[in-house]
Amino acid sequence: MVSGVDSGADERLPDWVIWRQRPFPDANLLLIDGREPALVDSGFVGHAQRTAEWVRAHSGNLTRVVNTHWHADHVGGNGLLQAGGAGIAAGAPDADAIARRDPGCCAAEYLDQPVAPYTVDEPLDDGQLLRLGDADWEVLHTPGHTPGHVALWQPEERLLVVGDALSDYDVGWVNLALDGPDAATTAVASLQRLADLEPRVLLPAHGPIPAEPTAAFAAALRRGRRLVDDPDGAIWYGARRIFAFALMIRGGISADEVESYLLARAWLVDAAALLRRTPETLAAELIDTMIRSGAVVVRDNRLHAAAEYSPVMPETLQAPFPRAWPAPAGRRGL
C-alpha cells in the first residue's frame, strides 16, 4: 500500500489528473490519465514496487514516465516502470548524461542516494509540447534546484507541475558546490518564469497542493532571494536536507557511526570548504544544530529524522551507482 490519500474528488483537478501526496523519501504521485497515460516522477527506489502497483490500480498501460529532475526521490521507480513498457522522458542535459553513464548522474553517488539503473528514451527541450493523457503539456526548462530541472504546463486547465522548484512551504534547495555560485539566482529566475504563468493549480513534488498559488510563489521567491543574499545559508539549507534524507532512507544512523558517515560524503566535504570549516567541524555542527532545532531526534543511540517519512527496506539501498550501471540497451523512442 502507498501511504497517503488520493486526490479523489479534489475539485481543483480535472478527473483525469490523479494525485497523491507522499511523505519522504518519495516524491508525490501524479498520474495523467487518458489515451497516453503518464506518470510524473516515480518515487524512491525502495518503494518502486508500490509506485508500480499504484499506477496499475489507477490506469492502463503507462506510456511515459516524465521526470522533473533526476534526484533519487523522483526517479527510483523508472527502472521498474521501464521494464514494464513505459518510456522515460527527462530534460535533455540529464538524458545525455544518463546515456553516457556519467558518474555524476542523479547526483546519486555525490549525495549517497541510490537509484536503480534506467535509460532515457525521450530527451525534453524547453518549449517542447508533450501529449500526456489526452492533453498537450508544455515543457519548461526551469534550472536551479538542478541544472536539468523541468516543469510542465497545461494551458487550458492552467495546471503547473513544478517538481522541486517550490513547494507550499519552501523553495527547492540549491547545490552551490555542484552547480556553482549562481545556482540560487538561476532558481529565482525560474521561479519568476513559473509565477508569471499565473497557474490556477500548482502541483509540487512534495507536500500539499498550495491553497493559493500566488501566495506560494511569493513565499518561495522571498526564500529564494534569501538564498541569493546568503550563500552560507543556502549551503546549510542543502546540507540539512541531504542529511535528513540520509537518515530517512537508512532508518536512522547509529550515534557512534554518524560522524564517520558524514566525513565520507563528498557533499559534506564540499560544503565544509565553501563554509570555510573543516569537514569535522561541519559534521559536528550539523548534527548539533539539527538536534537542537528538533529536526533530528536521538532514540536508542541512533539519530533519526524527525519529519514524517515512510521506512525503506535496507536491501533496496543496494542499487549500484551510475558509474557501474550496465550500458543502455539503446533508445526505443516513443
The span from the CA of 244 to the CA of 224, in Å, is: 20
By beta-carbon proximity to Zn ion, the closer residue of 72 and 290 is: 72
Is 188 in contact with 163 (CB distance < 8 Å)? no
Tell me, what amino acid is at 117? P
At its nearest, how many Å lie between Zn ion and the CB of residue 255?
Answer: 28
In the structure grid, which three cell numbers stand for residue 305, read together? Answer: 529524522
41 binds Zn ion (CB under 5 A): no
Residue linked to cell 546540507: 239
The span from the CA of 55 to the CA of 79, in Å, is: 14
By beta-carbon proximity to Zn ion, the closer residue of 76 and 87 is: 76
Q: Chain-centre distance of CA 77, in angstroms?
A: 12
Q: What SS3 class is residue 304? A: strand
Beta bridge pairs of residue 66: 40, 89
The span from the CA of 44 to the CA of 60, in Å, is: 22
By beta-carbon proximity to Zn ion, the closer residue of 29 and 135 is: 29
At its nearest, how many Å lie between Zn ion and the CB of residue 69?
Answer: 6
At its nearest, how many Å lie between Zn ion and the CB of residue 164?
Answer: 4
Total residues binding Zn ion (CB under 5 A): 2
164 binds Zn ion (CB under 5 A): yes
In the structure grid, which three cell numbers stand for residue 199, read together? Answer: 497557474
Nearest Cα residue to 142 out of 163, 128, 122:
163
By beta-carbon proximity to Zn ion, the closer residue of 144 and 210 is: 144
Choosing from 71, 141, 206, 304, the residue that interacts with Zn ion (CB under 5 A) is 71
At its nearest, how many Å lie between Zn ion and the CB of residue 113?
Answer: 10
By beta-carbon proximity to Zn ion, the closer residue of 73 and 270 is: 73
| 29-32/17-20 β-pairing | antiparallel
By beta-carbon proximity to Zn ion, the closer residue of 37 and 144 is: 144
Q: Which stretch binds Zn ion (CB under 5 A): 16-24, 161-169, 268-276, 280-288?
A: 161-169
Tell me, what amino acid is at 141? H
Number of residue whose CB is nearest Zn ion: 71
Site string for Zn ion, 112-151 (x = CB under 5 A): ----------------------------------------
Where do contacts with Zn ion occur on this chain (CB under 5 A)?
71, 164
